[in-house]
Amino acid sequence: MIVAFVLLLVVIGSVGFHLISPWWWTPIASNWGYIDDTINLTFWITGFVFVAVLTFMAYCVFRFRHTKGHKAHYEPESAKLEIWLSVLTSLGVIAMLTPGLFVWYQFITVPDGADEFEVLGQQWMWSYRYPGKDGRLGKTDPRNVTADNPFGIDTADPAGQDDVLVQGEDLHLPLDRPVKFLLRSLDVLHDFYVPQFRAKMDMIPGMITYFWITPTRTGTFDILCAELCGVGHHAMRGIVVVEEESAYKDWLAQQPTFAQSLAKANAGTRRVSTLNAGGSVR
């Protein structure tokens, strides 16, 4: 009797907690409402099964409790019941998986005319690269990476010279424009995640992965690394600012291009070598 009561209490408590839980998604800031829909669908199906199974258990515990003189009826199998359970389970699993396939297809099908930019992950920071005036990102190779060229841009590729580099700064994105995130890692697995965008993707050394979103409201959101990547994993945080297109363009215009940052690095090297030369004369 008490067991049946506890089982019912677990059902009521779980459903009640789900309904009034203070821990719920942050308000969405992208076009991926579908992601929330599929999660909600999964909640409904698994929730229904959870309630049904526990209520049935409570009923059985109560209804078939021990009474003197009663003997259990032995029924090792029931083909009819097994078919029913198999069919219902299959339907439930299909209902949970099928919408995901459609949403996934949209998630990786980038609309024509989407802007492109690159996110570079490394232990333990985020950097970003936007195509310059030519609208194209220059070729890269991890073997080109040096202190002066942290993105590993191919210096021989003219498309790379005007690439805009953002390091140690927030990521900015324009409102209401579809944008394709190209994701690259310099060292180990990372995972680029902005909860409000309902989008995340692993970053794999040697590969360029991607997804796309359209930011649907302005604001400042946290960027998290969602793949354990070493002792600094927890500190691999960033900020993304979604703003009106004009503010975004002003910000972008202030960031250095690859050619500018190379020239600055070279000027620094020259100054150092001049100093060294001066030192050796004395």
Q: Please count the other Cβ atoms lying within 10 Å of the Cβ belonging to residue 37.
A: 12
**Strands in the chain per DSSP E:** 115-122, 125-130, 164-167, 171-174, 179-185, 190-194, 199-203, 209-213, 219-225, 237-243
**186 touching ligand CUA, by CB under 6 A:** no
Nearer to ligand CUA, 227 or 243 (CB): 227
Nearest approach in angstroms of CB 122 to ligand CUA is 8
Please count the residues of this chain forming the interface with ligand CUA, following the rule CB under 6 A: 9
Which of 190/198 has CB closer to ligand CUA? 190
Closest distance between ligand CUA and the C-beta of residue 149, in Å? 21
- For the CB of residue 76, give the shortest distance to ligand CUA in the complex, in Å: 51
Does 236 help bind ligand CUA (rule: CB under 6 A)? yes
Q: Is the CB of residue 192 less than 8 Å from the CB of residue 222?
A: no
Residue 164 or 194: the one with the smaller Cβ distance to ligand CUA is: 194
**Which parts of 19-48 interact with ligand CUA (CB under 6 A)?**
none
Nearest to 4 by CA among 56, 39, 50, 77: 56
Give the burial string for 200-227 (b: 16+ CB within 10 Å, else e): bbbbbeeeebbbbbbbbeeeebebbbbb
Site string for ligand CUA, 99-128 (x = CB under 6 A): ----------------------x--x----
Burial classification of residue 153, based on how many CB atoms lie within 10 Å of its CB (0-12 exposed, 13-18 middle, 19 or more buried) = buried
Nearer to ligand CUA, 65 or 234 (CB): 234
Query: Is residue 190 part of the contact set for ligand CUA (CB under 6 A)?
Result: yes
Write out the binding residues for ligand CUA, residues 210-229 only, by CB under 6 A: 225, 227-229
Binding site for ligand CUA (CB under 6 A): 121, 124, 190, 225, 227-229, 233, 236
